[in-house]
Amino acid sequence: MVKAHKGLFLKRIAIVGLDGLDWHTLIPLIKEWKLRGFAKLLSRGILGVMKCYPPLTPPSWTSILTGVKPEKHGIWGVRKIVVEQDESIRWRLVNAFDLTYPRLNEILSSEGMFGIHVNYIDILAYPPEAQYLGNQIFVYRDPATNRRRIYPTKYESYSKYFEASDIEGILRLNEEFVPDVLIAIFNYPDVVHHYYPNTVLNPFNRKLLEILSKFDKLIDSIYTRYDIIVIVSDHGFSFFNKGINLLSILRQLTNGSTDFYPEFLFKLLFSKLTELVLYSLLTMNLHPARIKLLFKTKERVFSEDLTKEVLRPYTISNSIFVDLSHSASSWSIYVVGRKLVERVYKALRKLEFFEEVHKYGLHDDIYLVHVVPKDDFYVICEKCFEKFPEPLLRIPTARHSPYGVFIMHDKSYENVQLVNDVYNVDVVPTVLARLGLPIPSYTDGKVMIQSSNRLARKDYRSRIMLLRKIQRLKLGLKRSYDH
């Protein structure tokens, strides 16, 4: 048995990430279905609605585990733009080598804390770089085999425990080891929300109850082992019926007009019909087979299979690209050319649908425009609406929302404290401050707990990035993932 670090670390902490968890789903289930583990966490500590911009898995989890915003860590979506030596543009999927700031597990490891890190998200976990972290067990998914692997390789025998489920594997590792810190991130309940969108307005879905009950048992099992338990989500999931036709808006900016073609009349009429059908679907607890049939029909009529071009974003023109996703509306627009980006930026700022519009330079002549819709709006990502001239369409849907969950259960607290203005970048500095460790000098987040002592700051980045570079040179991976 590996013993926990003895000395400075009197607190043991577990961080459980639940992709897509939101309060309006969690609270009714705790009350009606008696989720004992979750209920314990709400008894003392800090609670808040966590704002996640943009509410998309890769950038939001990266911000949660690094403490910096996308404009620093550079992860805006599932793809990354790469400029070749001949100045041509290439696109590829993002991966762990794109991270330019330390993750929380690396920071805690550098401070001498022994940890177990379980992660399903490739951007944070693959390729594995745990070799230089001598005091950490790193569990990740191998994209080639879709099976769990463990680093360091001397612990590979424990991967058999993850064959049944990740929860079973985590519980087994907790029995075998005594870590200072556990970080585990799961792709639930997001997967359930996408398959059964009616859970947005009716959370009492059998599959959702089944999944959350398993996590409830996990929390209940580790409750006595850890002094601090943190639950976070990278976004929420909500119902919307006001869609911003972003592709059409961008098309009009490039050629001045959109062509209203006759074939669209059928889709327009169908949209009015589905507006009633889908709203009923989202408000009633229908049989899963009917839900799947209705939403598959909607997908076939309104969408194209984006997975066929997974490495390529959607092209509006030779100079404007949108990184679309079925799972969430993209808020990121890539623009080539200084004059064009100014035109796009100014035009989008004039629209009443957006709360914020920002622009960032990526390369010499490549820019990113990031839009934040107002609360009642979502960005339509179905391609068929690109040639429809209306900028706003009333098509109901269930999509990612920027409002996730932040729970920090602390047994030293006597009661519960509700906090406002919690952002995903606040997780890292808050966790480190609670453990009595310096917070990153470069963080964009703030500490959500009160402290009588002045918070120390430390530049974790320089040393950890150097260790990463040395490790990559040893593995011969200097350029494999950087370009």
Per-residue pLDDT tens over the stretch 387-410: 778 888 887 788 899 999 999 999
Instruction: Please indicate, yes or no, whether residues 229 and 261 belong to a single structural domain of this protein.
Output: no
Could you tell me whether strands 354-361 and 228-232 are parallel, antiparallel, or unpaired per DSSP bridges?
Answer: unpaired
* pLDDT at 174 exceeding the cut of 50: yes
* pLDDT at 328 exceeding the cut of 60: no
* pLDDT at 317 exceeding the cut of 70: yes
Question: Which of 395, 419, 450 represents a domain boundary (last residue)?
Answer: 395
Instruction: Please indicate, yes or no, whether residues 156 and 45 belong to a single structural domain of this protein.
Output: yes
* pLDDT at 346 exceeding the cut of 50: yes
Rg of the chain over all Cα atoms, to the nearest angstrom: 23
What is the pTM for the complete model shown?
Answer: 0.87
Instruction: Please indicate, yes or no, whether residues 364 and 437 belong to a single structural domain of this protein.
Output: no
Q: What is the pLDDT of residues 437-474, one digit of tens each?
A: 999 999 999 999 877 677 899 999 999 888 888 877 77
Q: Which pLDDT band holds residue 294 (cuts at 50, 70, 90)?
A: low
Q: Does residue 480 belong to any structural domain of this protein?
A: no
* pLDDT at 257 exceeding the cut of 70: no
* pLDDT at 272 exceeding the cut of 90: no
Instruction: Return the closest-CA partner of residue 149 out of 158, 164, 139.
Output: 139
Instruction: Please indicate, yes or no, whether residues 407 and 379 belong to a single structural domain of this protein.
Output: no
CA 127 to CA 316: how far, in whole Å?
Answer: 32
**What mean pLDDT comes out for the span 338-357?**
93
Residue 24: both structure tokens together: 């309006």
Residues 6+ apart with CB under 8 A from 406: 46, 47, 48, 49, 50, 230, 231, 232, 419, 422, 426, 427, 448
CA 105 to CA 66: how far, in whole Å?
Answer: 9
Q: Does residue 140 belong to any structural domain of this protein?
A: yes
Question: Which of 395, 413, 440 represents a domain boundary (last residue)?
Answer: 395
**What mean pLDDT comes out for the span 189-205?**
81
Instruction: Please indicate, yes or no, whether residues 55 and 187 belong to a single structural domain of this protein.
Output: yes
Instruction: Please indicate, yes or no, whether residues 291 and 198 belong to a single structural domain of this protein.
Output: no
Instruction: Please indicate, yes or no, whether residues 261 and 122 belong to a single structural domain of this protein.
Output: no
> What percent of the chain lies above the pLDDT cut of 90?
39
**What mean pLDDT comes out for the span 306-335?**
69
Residue 424 pLDDT: 98
Q: Does residue 1 belong to any structural domain of this protein?
A: no
Q: Does residue 4 belong to any structural domain of this protein?
A: no
- 74 backbone φψ class: left, alpha, beta (φ>0; ψ -120 to 50): left
Query: What is the total count of domains within the chain?
Result: 2
Instruction: Please indicate, yes or no, whether residues 188 and 246 belong to a single structural domain of this protein.
Output: no
Q: Does residue 5 belong to any structural domain of this protein?
A: no
Residue 309 pLDDT: 45
CATH of the domain at 155: 3.40.720.10
Instruction: Please indicate, yes or no, whether residues 168 and 255 belong to a single structural domain of this protein.
Output: no
Q: Where are the beta strands (DSSP E) in 130-264?
A: 136-142, 147-151, 181-186, 228-232, 236-240, 242-244
Residue 78 pLDDT: 82
Buried-state track 174-190, b at ≥16 Cβ within 10 A, e below 16: beebebbbbbbbbebbb
Please, what is the average pLDDT of the chain?
81
Residue 5 pLDDT: 41
Residue 114: both structure tokens together: 């022994």
Q: Which pLDDT band holds residue 293 (cuts at 50, 70, 90)?
A: low
Q: Where are the beta strands (DSSP E) in 362-468?
A: 366-373, 377-379, 392-393, 397-401, 403-410, 416-418, 422-423, 439-440, 457-458
Helix axes 23-33, 206-222, angle to 10 degrees: 80
Instruction: Please indicate, yes or no, whether residues 224 and 253 belong to a single structural domain of this protein.
Output: no
Q: What is the pLDDT of residues 108-147, one digit of tens each?
A: 989 999 999 998 676 666 666 655 677 888 888 776 677 7
Q: Does residue 316 belong to any structural domain of this protein?
A: yes
Q: Does residue 102 belong to any structural domain of this protein?
A: yes
Q: What is the pLDDT of residues 55-93, one digit of tens each?
A: 988 899 999 999 999 999 999 988 888 877 777 788 888
Q: Does residue 3 belong to any structural domain of this protein?
A: no
Residue 148 pLDDT: 81
Stronger pLDDT, 138 or 476, i.e. the higher one: 138
Residue 44 pLDDT: 92
Instruction: Please indicate, yes or no, whether residues 460 and 385 belong to a single structural domain of this protein.
Output: no
Determine the distance from the C-alpha atom of residue 77 to the mean position of all C-alpha atoms in its chain, rounded to a whole number. 10
Instruction: Please indicate, yes or no, whether residues 121 and 156 belong to a single structural domain of this protein.
Output: yes
Buried-state track 259-287, b at ≥16 Cβ within 10 A, e below 16: eeeeebeeeeeebeebeeebeebbeeebe
Question: Which of 395, 422, 445 represents a domain boundary (last residue)?
Answer: 395
Three-state SS for 124? helix
The domain containing residue 252 runs over which residues? 242-395
Residue 256 pLDDT: 55
Q: Which pLDDT band holds residue 481 (cuts at 50, 70, 90)?
A: very low
* Highest mean pLDDT pick, 24-38, 160-174, 352-366, 434-448: 434-448
Instruction: Return the closest-CA partner of residue 331 out of 399, 256, 261.
Output: 399
Is the distance from CB of 268 to CB of 385 less than 8 angstroms?
no
Residue 93 pLDDT: 80
